[in-house]
Structure 1
Amino acid sequence: MGKIFINATKNYGDKIKNIVEREKSRVDGVYYSLADIQTKHITELNNFLSGKIIFKDFPIYYLLYDNSYISKYLNPTTEAVKDRDGNVLIQKTTEGNNKLLCLKSNVDFPKFESLPLESSEYVDYRDDILFCIKNYYLRFYQNCPYMTTPTFLLDKTDSWKDIIIDDVLQHTNIYLKDESKRDVFLSVLINVELFNSFNVANKLLKYIRKYSFLTGISVSITNSASIYTYDSKEYQNILSFIKELNFNDVKVFMNYCGIKDIPFSILDIERFGVGWFSSFRSYDLESKGIDISQNSSFGKRIKKILLEYFMSEIPLELLEVLKIEDILEIIPVPISKLDDLSLSDLEQLYWIEFLKIIEKNQVIEEKFTGDELTIKRCDLMLQKLDFGLKNLKYLVKKLNESGRFDDAKKLENTNIYCIMTQIGAIREFKNKILI
């Protein structure tokens, strides 16, 4: 049975509450960053998520790496904007558009003016950081049976920042002597390119073996090259990474996931953290503010729909080339025409369809174990992807027949390409197991 967290970001409205109430047995709760959710909204989340799991992400890497938010924080500017009537408004740097201001309202670190911290400054401010982390545990995880550590960015082997990871884990161990937990997750942010340079799983397993209180990994993977997919080698690297953690009985949570991450459901992922189509699609180091590139703003939001039928997410308007009776059979919610589906409807549908896609087959789960089970899961996912590919190709055909050649080409270059990449990656992974 697949289960998910909802990745909460600012301005979430009632969308999270609605899906949690609708899919109570399979939406476990919420994962959010203290750099994204303002303090006042945290209380709201806690109120309507009573009894659900709430994972909080304290992105400590914002204190340690130079990033675009630091300069904006240290040198706040005002921006002249116009309202609908043409009147000029002044928009100051606020919690809503600077992650450091939002983070500062949720944690107790007093030295934001000194960011980013260098190795010598860490020595000077070490006590402040450890005090901040203890208060993070007390404020957000007291009386909870679980918790996550602050989120560390794994960048390169033998970085001086590794000292901070050990330092924090040692003091976490001290904290846990007075506040025991059933599960403690080491939270890490990993650039997908890092898997090419060394064994990331082995690095994390060393921490788990050294600190016995750690029961799992909460991992977010950034991908600067593509917002739609990983390439074949990246899929193999991540699948091998998860498989090694599974083999060592480490629980794995994956955050900020989308349709590109569904191949990983052939392994044992405890929970997927899933956003909605506009909230996770550019989850890379640039969007985290720690890339040399500048953030680029998104254009106007268009209506996109995720369907298991296509095993991908497509602009809703492309379905116009199909017969209405065919559309009504494809979309699993009552509608009379496509315009009936609002952005909110499509976001709710995204989570429902994602759950269907990662669904485990109960018969297979009960009948097989070990590598044999993984192979059967590969076969099931390949069947779903082959079915989605067939349906996408038919949609491309109808678009071409309607003279919408650009739309057809985009589907071929994005959706079909992504599915083909996923099929190839799963087949290669399955063959390695068979060998």
Structure 2
Amino acid sequence: MSHILSTYGRFPLTLVKGEGTRVWDEAGNSYLDFCSGIAVCALGHSPKVLVDAISQQAATLIHCCNLYHIPQQEELATLIVEKHVKLPGKVFFANSGAESNDGLIKSARRYGHANPQADGSPRYEVLSFKQSFHGRTLAGISATGQDKVKEGFNPLPTGFRHLPFNDLDALTAAIAPETVAIILEPIQGEGGVNVATPEFLRGVAALCKKHDLLLLLDEVQVGFGRCGDPMAWREIAPELEPDGISWAKGMGGGFPIGAFWLSDRPLDRGLQSAPENPATLSSLMGPGSHGTTYGGSPLACAASLAVLKEIADKKLIENVRAQEAHIRETIALWNHPLVTEVRGKGLLIGIGLDTEKMSTPEGKLPSIHLSAELIKSGLLAPPAGPATLRLLPPLNVTTEEVDQALKIVHSTLTSLQTSP
């Protein structure tokens, strides 16, 4: 009998070892891993550069609380701001994507108090989008536009509304006096690998400027090279200047770390001229406004520094773009009846499934059934919603490994195709 809470619907597989793009189960069977811990293992499993960084830092100083200065934090924040975001701002280090998004939501609430409605009451409402996913905390599931994650947790925190993704008219009509921010994923991962259009992102940014709203980007699954640029939003609308960004997953390569960034832009409405008010957006989150016990530890920051430097030094983003093109070209050549489209960017690829032509056992979602069948053939690839298969290989995946994985996907799809 297991003593672990049954909060996960696990596949019948126990993994005990990983190296590069491969993992092994307890029976010694090998699998190509195109799940990567759900976009976490950016360099694959147990890469030497990460193992060495963790080992060396663990032998020096594992933990230091945030009452004191941590040089690895400063080095990592400088790298993120100057080489990745490339916009003036400040970083807070957390432990996960959910924590990072909670930090953005708290920052929006703080902004709504400093910059209130016309009658002086705080602005508090955060608009998000259907099929989004922003974490499993109460604030995270309140911001998430999927009802399934909310079941049984009422009453949820108020101040969130969910609108159709890529629908600028619906968003324009929804903005109210109490609205303070808009949060969105440039590419929705868990919701089906849905990509924001350039027109939509630019329209959101214009609405934020017009109505004095914060533009918050959730890059937890898509950031730091996964989608072909260090910042995924730059692959869609490079001129955007967000107010806040959240990250986690791939930035630690498997070691738990998250972060959020706030812009240094001056506050509007003359607030910067009042001595009792802070001068920039980032300075709203001053001492006592937010905190963490473990976030930004020397060990976590050393791990992230190693990962981000390796991505840059080995020019892995070039590989991401090349492998995306190869994957798209290969799947297009299949002309497979079960494939409706290929969505996503970089190495966040969603293969849309024609579930009407697919043999699926009663009571099972087609995408989950497909993932289970792929395991039998030696490939790990997670679902994304009921009708999408995700491919999330490491950023250093080779063409040979991509071809092996796609061969398994093709043969498995064919085996599940119903007779015409």
Which category of TM-score, normalised to the shorter sequence, fits these structures? under 0.3
Which of the pair has the greater relative contact order for Cα pairs under 8 Å at 6+ separation?
2
